[in-house]
C-alpha cells in the first residue's frame, strides 16, 4: 500500500537577524522523513520551539521547504498543485476563535472554501454545508450563527466542519485541544475518533497533552530543536523511550500520573 | 486559623435589564501554609473569585458576602488604601496568560524592579540602590529557575517563550514576599516537563516559606500532584470540596466524577482509540443560566427536584451540594442542613 502522504528529507532554514549588528540566529528544520497511511493518526510532540508547528505548516503548504520532497497520494505533483493540495489536506488551528471572522456567519465562512475550490452551485453548496454541520454534531440552524453566539466547543466544531467541508483525506491539527475545557475536550476527542472511523481520515496532530496523545495516536514523532529524534508506534515509544528528550517528556507525564494514583 | 476566608460570596453583574448572579454563595477557606486547588472549567467563575478577593472589579458589579477576611481583617469594609496595602504586600496574584499580563512596552528588567517594594532597599546613594534592585531581581529570577538571566532581562515580553514569562510572573509575585500566592491557570498549554518544573517550584515555596497557595486550574493532573484540598466549581456554584484524596477516591457529585472521567490519563485500563466518557452539552453562558442546580440540564441523574438549589451537606470534611449524590443515587436528601 502506498502511503497517502510521504515526506522525504524535508529541510527548512529560517534566518533571523534581530538588529543590524546582532548575530544571525538560524533555525533549521529537518532533514526529516515520515509517511502517513489512510486512517492513521500521527502525533507530533516535543518541547516549545522545537519546530512542531513548522512541520504542520510545511505539510499544508503554507511554507515551501527548501529541500526535499512531499508526495501526496503517491505523487509529488499532487502536493505542488495548489488545487489538489488544498482539497486533500486541511488544517485546524489552535485558537479557533481568533481565526474566525466575527463579521461572517458560519454559513458564509463555510461557503468560502467551497466557492474557491469546487464548481458547486449555491444550493448544492448549502446542502453540503448543512450535511457537514450535522456531521460534526451541530444543527443546520447554526448556518446563520455568528462566532460570538457560540460557545468554545461549538466554535471548535465549526473549525472542524471548515476542515472537513472539502472532503479531505488528511487533517492537520495544531493543538486542537489545548484551549478547550476537560468536558468539551473529551467530546471533541470522541468526535474526531468517530469521524476517523466513518470517513477513514488520516490525522496529524500536535499536542502537549500526553494523555490524549497516548489515547488517540497510532504513531508518534518526537521533535527537538528542529530535528526528528524519535519515531515509532505510540505504545512502543511510551513503553520504551530511547532518546533523552522523549524519556524526559514521557517520564514527566507518568510521574504526574503515578503520583495521582499514589494519592488515591 | 484560616488566613483567607470567604463565606457565601455572591457576585451580581448587571446586563442591561436584569442582574445576573455570576457567583452563587461560594465559600472558601485557605489556611496558612496550605495548598488549595480551585477547579472549574472556563466560565465557572474562578477568575471572578480571584478578582473579588483582590477587589479588581468594575464599580457597576456588586459583591455580596457574609465575609471576606484576610488574617482576621475584613476586606470588604476596608478603605481603598488599606486594602491596596494588603494586596501589595501580602497577597500576590499570577494572572492568566502571562504574555498579555506583562506590559508590552516595558523591558523585563524594569518590570521586575518595579515589583520590589521600596522597604527592601537599604538607604544609600542612588546608584547603590539601583545596583541593589538589580541584584534582587536577578536573585528572584534564579529562585524561580531561570538560569540565564542575562538573556531575558533585556527583552520585551513578546520575545519570551510562554514558560519563561510564566516563571517571571511568579518571580514578580514573590518579590514582595507575600503570605498568599494565587495562581490563575499557570500550567495551561505547557508540555509535561515545564509543567513539572512549575509545580515543583510552587511546592518548594510552600514548604520553605510556608506560603499558602491558591492554585486555580482545570488541569486535574497538576492539581492532584500539588494540592491537599480542593474545591470544584461549576457555573459559579461550589459543587464539591474537601481533601483531594477523598474527592479523587470517591467523588460524590456527578460533575466531579465526569471531570475525573474525562481525562484519559487517569484510566489505565482504557483501550486506545476508545470513546471517552463525556457530559453532553456545553457550559451555559451567563445570560442563560439554568435555575436551581446549574448542572441540571447536563447531569446524567437529574430529576425533578433539581430545579431547587441543593443545600451544601457535609460528611466529615467532605462537602457537596447535590440532591442525589453518587453514594445515595435514589434517595433524596433532607431539605435542611444536617451534619452526618
- pLDDT 10s digits, B49-64: 888 888 888 888 888 8
**What distance in Å separates the CA atoms of residue A189 and residue A169, rounded to the nearest whole number?**
18
CB contact under 8 A, B191 and A249: yes
φ and ψ at residue A11, rounded to 5 degrees? -135, 140
Which CATH number is A228's domain given?
3.40.50.300
Instruction: Tell me whether residue A62 is in a domain.
Output: yes
CB contact under 8 A, B189 and A257: no
* Contact (CB, 8 A) for B251 and B235: no
**What distance in Å separates the CA atoms of residue B157 and residue B152, rounded to the nearest whole number?**
9
Question: Average per-residue pLDDT in chain B?
Answer: 83
User: How would residue A129 be classed by pLDDT, with cut points 50, 70 and 90?
Assistant: very high
pLDDT value at position B284? 74
Q: Write the CB contacts of B331 (distance below 8 Å, at least 6 apart in sequence).
A: B324
Residues 103-162 of A with CB under 8 A from B: 151-154
Instruction: Tell me whether residue A150 is in a domain.
Output: no
Grid coordinates representing B150 are 542575562
Grid coordinates representing B97 are 496568560
Q: Across-strand partners of B69?
A: B5, B74
Instruction: Tell me whether residue A26 is in a domain.
Output: yes
pLDDT value at position B340? 45
Higher pLDDT, B232 or B163: B232
| Of B191, B202, B166, B219, nearest in space to B40 by CA | B219
Residue count of chain B: 340
Instruction: Tell me whether residue B151 is in a domain.
Output: yes
Grid coordinates representing B223 are 492539581
Q: Write the CB contacts of A83 (distance below 8 Å, at least 6 apart in sequence).
A: A117
**What distance in Å separates the CA atoms of residue A75 and residue A55, rounded to the nearest whole number?**
19
* Contact (CB, 8 A) for B315 and B239: no
Q: In this prediction, what percent of chain A has a pLDDT beyond 90?
A: 6
Residue A106 is inside which H or E element, if any? helix A106-117
Q: Quote the domain boundaries for residue A77.
A: 5-97+169-259
User: How would residue A125 be classed by pLDDT, with cut points 50, 70 and 90?
Assistant: very high
Region of residue B314 (left: phi > 0; alpha: psi -120 to 50; beta: else): beta
> Which residues of chain A are within 8 Å of residue B245 when distances are taken between CB atoms?
263-264
Q: In this prediction, what percent of chain A has a pLDDT beyond 70?
A: 97
Whether B336 shows a pLDDT value over 60: the answer reads: no
Q: Tens of pLDDT along B19-41?
A: 888 888 888 888 888 899 998 88
CB contact under 8 A, B188 and A178: yes
Instruction: Tell me whether residue B306 is in a domain.
Output: no
Higher pLDDT, B304 or A120: A120
Instruction: Tell me whether residue B130 is in a domain.
Output: yes
The end-to-end CA distance of chain A, in Å, is: 47
Asked whether the bond before A45 is cis by omega within 30 degrees of 0, the reply is no
Task: Taking the CA atoms of A185, A191, A193 and A199 in sequence, report the sign of the dihedral they define.
Answer: negative
Count of CB contacts below 8 A, A vs B?
Answer: 122
**What distance in Å separates the CA atoms of residue A184 and residue B201, rounded to the nearest whole number?**
30
> Which residues of chain B are within 8 Å of residue A47 when distances are taken between CB atoms?
191, 193-194
**What distance in Å separates the CA atoms of residue B336 and residue B333, rounded to the nearest whole number?**
9
pLDDT value at position B165? 84
For residue B171, the tally of other CB atoms under 10 A from its CB is 23
* Contact (CB, 8 A) for B236 and B223: no
CB contact under 8 A, B278 and A260: no
Q: How far is B53 from chain A (nearest CA, A)?
A: 24
Q: What SS3 state is found at A127?
A: helix
**What distance in Å separates the CA atoms of residue B166 and residue B160, rounded to the nearest whole number?**
10
Average pLDDT over residues B52-78: 85
Nearest to A48 among B191, B270, B272 (CB): B191
Check CB contact of A259 with chain B, cutoff 8 Å. yes
Whether B188 shows a pLDDT value over 80: the answer reads: no
Average pLDDT over residues A30-48: 84
Q: Tens of pLDDT along A48-80?
A: 778 888 888 888 888 888 888 888 887 777 777
> Which residues of chain B are within 8 Å of residue A175 when distances are taken between CB atoms?
189
**Helix runs in A118-243, H state only:** 122-135, 152-164, 182-199, 210-216, 234-239
Average pLDDT over residues A247-255: 83
Average pLDDT over residues A231-257: 84
> Any idea which residue has 521547504 for its cell?
A65
Instruction: Tell me whether residue A222 is in a domain.
Output: yes
Instruction: Tell me whether residue A110 is in a domain.
Output: no
| Of B296, A17, B124, B20, nearest in space to B11 by CA | B20
Instruction: Tell me whether residue A22 is in a domain.
Output: yes
Q: How far is B294 from chain A (nearest CA, A)?
A: 15
Check CB contact of B288 with chain A, cutoff 8 Å. no
Higher pLDDT, B292 or B142: B142
Instruction: Tell me whether residue B13 is in a domain.
Output: no
Question: Average per-residue pLDDT in chain A?
Answer: 83
- How many structural domains are present in chain A? 1
| Of B269, B185, B171, nearest in space to B220 by CA | B185
Instruction: Tell me whether residue B173 is in a domain.
Output: yes
Average pLDDT over residues B207-215: 89
Q: Quote the domain boundaries for residue B103.
A: 98-177
**What distance in Å separates the CA atoms of residue A68 and residue A53, rounded to the nearest whole number?**
18
Q: In angstroms, what CA-CA distances link A262 with A254, B244, B256? A: 12, 12, 19
> Which residues of chain B are within 8 Å of residue A255 when distances are taken between CB atoms?
196
Under DSSP, the state recorded for B61 is S
φ and ψ at residue B249, rounded to 5 degrees? -70, -45
CB contact under 8 A, B263 and A211: yes
Q: Write the CB contacts of B295 (distance below 8 Å, at least 6 apart in sequence).
A: B234, B235, B239, B254, B255, B302
pLDDT value at position A197? 86
Whether B108 shows a pLDDT value over 50: the answer reads: yes
**What distance in Å separates the CA atoms of residue B279 and residue B294, rounded to the nearest whole number?**
14
For residue B109, the tally of other CB atoms under 10 A from its CB is 18
φ and ψ at residue A124, rounded to 5 degrees? -65, -40
Instruction: Tell me whether residue A212 is in a domain.
Output: yes
> Which residues of chain B are within 8 Å of residue A182 when distances are taken between CB atoms?
41, 218, 220, 259, 262-263
Grid coordinates representing B116 are 520590589
Instruction: Tell me whether residue A210 is in a domain.
Output: yes
φ and ψ at residue A110, rounded to 5 degrees? -85, -20
- How many structural domains are present in chain B? 1
| pTM for this entry | 0.79
Instruction: Tell me whether residue B50 is in a domain.
Output: no
CB contact under 8 A, A190 and B190: no
Amino acid at each position: 500500500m502506498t502511503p497517502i502522504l510521504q515526506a522525504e528529507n524535508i529541510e527548512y532554514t529560517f534566518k533571523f537577524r534581530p538588529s543590524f549588528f546582532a548575530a544571525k540566529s538560524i533555525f533549521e528544520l529537518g532533514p526529516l522523513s515520515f509517511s502517513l497511511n489512510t486512517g492513521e493518526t500521527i502525533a507530533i510532540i516535543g518541547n516549545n520551539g522545537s519546530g512542531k508547528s513548522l512541520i504542520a505548516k510545511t505539510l499544508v503548504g503554507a511554507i515551501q521547504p527548501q529541500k526535499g520532497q512531499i508526495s501526496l497520494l503517491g505523487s509529488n505533483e499532487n502536493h505542488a498543485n495548489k488545487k489538489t493540495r488544498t482539497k486533500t489536506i486541511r488544517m485546524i488551528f489552535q485558537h479557533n476563535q481568533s481565526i474566525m471572522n466575527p463579521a461572517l456567519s458560519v454559513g458564509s465562512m463555510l461557503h468560502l472554501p467551497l466557492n474557491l475550490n469546487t464548481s458547486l452551485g449555491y444550493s448544492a453548496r448549502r446542502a453540503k454545508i448543512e450535511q457537514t454541520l450535522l456531521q460534526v454534531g451541530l444543527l443546520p440552524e447554526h448556518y446563520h450563527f455568528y462566532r460570538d453566539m457560540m460557545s468554545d466547543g461549538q466554535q471548535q466544531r465549526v473549525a472542524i466542519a471548515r476542515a472537513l467541508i472539502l472532503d479531505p483525506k488528511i487533517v492537520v491539527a495544531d493543538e486542537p485541544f489545548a484551549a478547550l475545557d476537560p468536558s468539551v475536550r473529551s467530546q471533541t476527542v470522541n468526535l474526531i475518533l468517530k469521524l476517523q472511523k466513518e470517513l477513514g481520515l488520516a490525522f496529524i496532530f500536535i499536542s502537549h497533552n500526553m494523555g490524549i496523545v497516548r489515547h488517540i495516536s497510532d504513531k508518534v514523532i518526537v521533535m527537538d530543536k528542529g530535528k526528528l529524534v524519535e519515531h515509532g508506534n505510540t505504545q512502543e515509544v511510551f513503553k520504551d523511550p530511547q532518546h533523552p528528550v522523549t524519556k524526559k517528556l514521557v517520564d514527566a507525564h507518568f510521574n504526574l500520573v503515578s503520583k495521582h494514583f499514589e494519592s488515591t | 486559623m484560616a488566613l483567607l476566608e470567604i463565606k457565601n460570596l455572591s457576585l451580581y453583574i448587571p446586563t442591561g435589564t436584569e442582574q445576573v448572579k455570576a457567583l452563587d454563595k461560594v465559600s472558601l477557606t485557605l489556611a496558612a501554609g496550605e495548598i488549595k486547588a480551585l477547579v472549574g472549567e472556563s466560565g465557572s467563575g474562578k477568575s471572578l473569585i480571584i478578582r473579588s478577593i483582590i477587589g479588581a472589579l468594575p464599580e457597576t458589579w456588586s459583591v455580596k458576602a457574609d465575609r471576606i477576611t484576610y488574617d482576621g481583617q475584613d476586606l470588604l469594609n476596608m478603605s481603598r488604601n488599606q486594602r491596596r496595602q494588603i494586596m501589595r504586600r501580602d497577597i500576590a496574584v499570577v494572572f492568566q496568560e502571562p504574555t498579555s499580563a506583562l506590559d508590552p512596552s516595558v523591558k523585563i528588567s524594569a518590570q521586575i524592579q518595579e515589583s520590589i517594594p521600596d522597604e527592601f532597599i537599604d538607604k544609600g546613594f542612588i546608584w547603590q540602590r539601583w545596583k541593589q534592585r538589580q541584584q534582587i531581581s536577578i536573585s528572584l529570577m534564579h529562585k524561580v529557575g531561570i538560569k540565564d538571566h542575562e538573556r531575558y532581562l533585556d527583552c520585551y515580553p513578546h520575545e519570551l517563550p510562554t514558560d519563561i514569562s510564566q516563571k517571571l510572573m511568579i518571580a514578580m509575585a514573590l518579590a514582595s514576599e507575600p503570605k498568599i500566592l494565587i495562581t490563575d491557570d499557570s500550567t495551561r498549554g505547557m508540555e509535561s516537563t515545564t509543567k513539572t518544573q512549575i509545580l515543583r517550584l510552587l511546592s518548594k515555596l510552600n514548604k520553605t516559606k510556608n506560603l499558602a497557595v491558591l492554585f486555580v486550574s482545570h488541569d486535574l493532573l497538576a492539581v492532584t500532584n500539588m494540592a491537599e484540598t480542593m474545591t470544584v466549581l461549576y457555573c459559579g456554584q461550589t459543587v464539591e470540596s474537601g481533601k483531594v484524596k477523598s474527592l479523587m477516591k470517591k467523588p460524590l457529585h456527578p460533575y466531579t466524577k465526569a471531570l475525573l472521567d474525562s481525562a484519559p490519563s487517569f484510566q489505565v485500563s482504557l483501550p486506545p482509540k476508545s470513546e471517552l466518557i463525556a457530559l453532553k452539552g456545553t457550559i451555559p453562558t451567563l445570560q442563560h443560566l439554568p435555575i436551581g442546580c446549574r448542572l441540571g440540564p447536563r447531569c446524567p441523574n437529574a430529576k425533578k427536584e433539581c430545579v431547587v438549589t441543593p443545600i451544601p451537606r457535609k460528611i466529615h470534611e467532605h462537602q457537596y451540594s447535590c440532591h442525589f449524590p453518587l453514594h445515595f443515587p435514589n434517595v433524596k436528601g433532607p431539605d435542611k442542613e444536617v451534619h452526618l
